Structure 1
Amino acid sequence: MKQFTAKEVEKLLTQGQNVNIIDVREVEEVEAGKIPGAIHIPLGLLEFRINELDKSKEYIMVCRSGGRSGRACQFLDSYGFNVINMTGGMLDWEGETN
């Protein structure tokens, strides 16, 4: 499984890279702040919303600490998606949130 640290993801964003971030945390967790531009799809709904994703794009998966996003990566990878897990999750995120 490909992995990026929170710092690596933050660097991509500050460089203006076009990144696709999916936050798989629960609603109440996201209300406390998420990475700007991230799409919120709770892990439990991912299989039902998989049709919203594009296999030609690369997705960075984010959760609180990296565990749920890792499971999301395994699930999406099994369907042929190009995914990267942000290790450390939002606990390691020092960048902007909204």
Structure 2
Amino acid sequence: MGGAAVKDVSYEELKALMEKSKNLLLVDVRSEAEVAKGQIPGSINIPLDTVEDAMKMNPDAFKAKYGIPKPPQDSSELVFYCQMGKRGAAATKKACDLGYVNARNYAGAYSEWSKKEAK
């Protein structure tokens, strides 16, 4: 592996980002079947096995496929998540390897989000 460790974002940090940032790109890397059971509001689904291709797309193709602008490589508002944290970390690593140096992983993932939001 090598390189920098994957940067994590906490539940509280993610909530704050969601409230103040208009440019946050929250990427759900779970399967479509998992997403169908619920996802974090405002997130887009790019399954883990397609993350690398998605992040290599030109901006026009990305927007056409996902309906939102592709984030710039220096974006600090790019967060990946999955169900438990592992796939989110893998996706974040892929994005970092492609030059998205500030990409972060929501380590608590959907399992933590759904518990905290259910209160």
- Give the TM-score taking structure 2 as reference length: 0.71
State the identity as a percent.
28
Relative contact order (alpha carbons < 8 A, sep ≥ 6): 1 or 2 greater?
1
Unaligned runs of 5+ in 2: 1-5, 63-69
Please point out which of 37, 41, 44 is paired with 2:49.
Answer: 44
Q: Distance in 1 between matches of 2:79 and 2:53?
A: 19
- The one-letter code sitting in structure 2 at the alignment partner of 1:86 is Y
* Residue 20 (structure 2) aligns with: 16
- Give the TM-score taking structure 1 as reference length: 0.85
Aligned CA-pair RMSD: 1.7
Q: Distance in 1 between matches of 2:43 and 2:29?
A: 10
Following TM superposition, the consecutive aligned residue runs of length 4 or more in structure 1 with deviations greater than 6 angstroms are none
Structure 1 residue 69: Cα displacement: 0.5
Aligned length: 95
- The one-letter code sitting in structure 2 at the alignment partner of 1:17 is S
* Residue 64 (structure 1) aligns with: 83
**Which stretch shifts more, 54-63 or 76-85?**
54-63
